[in-house]
């Protein structure tokens, strides 16, 4: 029988997260703040059906906007 170190399987099972990867919202029992629309989406006159939702961990809410927008319209957080 071989150990994980000899086969290299121990390294394959370890997940390395990218430092600025998207974060998951904490369990908030279904409540979150609606942070409004991002400035680019407002400037382009996008309808709600065209916008995507973005999570802000500082405000603990969701804001909606153009898919490539990354900055929360309320606090300026750019890290999800």
Q: Between β-strands 52-56 and 61-65, what pairing exists: parallel, antiparallel or unpaired?
A: antiparallel
Model-wide pTM > 0.85: no
Q: In the prediction, which pLDDT does 27 show?
A: 61
At 55, is the secondary structure helix, strand, or coil?
A: strand
How do the domains of the chain map onto residue ranges?
Answer: 24-80
Q: In the prediction, which pLDDT does 23 show?
A: 62
**Residue from 65, 70, 64, 62 nearest 34 by CA:** 62
Q: Which residues of the chain have pLDDT under 70?
A: 1-12, 16-30
Q: What is the pLDDT of residues 5-17, one digit of tens each?
A: 555 555 667 776 6
How many other CB atoms are there within 10 angstroms of residue 77's CB atom?
16
């Amino acid at each position: 029988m071989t150990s994980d170190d000899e086969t290299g399987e121990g390294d394959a099972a370890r997940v390395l997260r990218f430092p600025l990867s998207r974060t998951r919202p904490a369990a908030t029992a279904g409540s979150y703040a609606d942070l409004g629309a991002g400035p680019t989406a407002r400037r382009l006159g996008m309808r709600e059906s065209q916008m995507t939702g973005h999570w802000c961990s500082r405000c603990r809410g969701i804001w909606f906007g153009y898919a490539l927008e990354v900055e929360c319209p309320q606090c300026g957080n750019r890290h999800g």
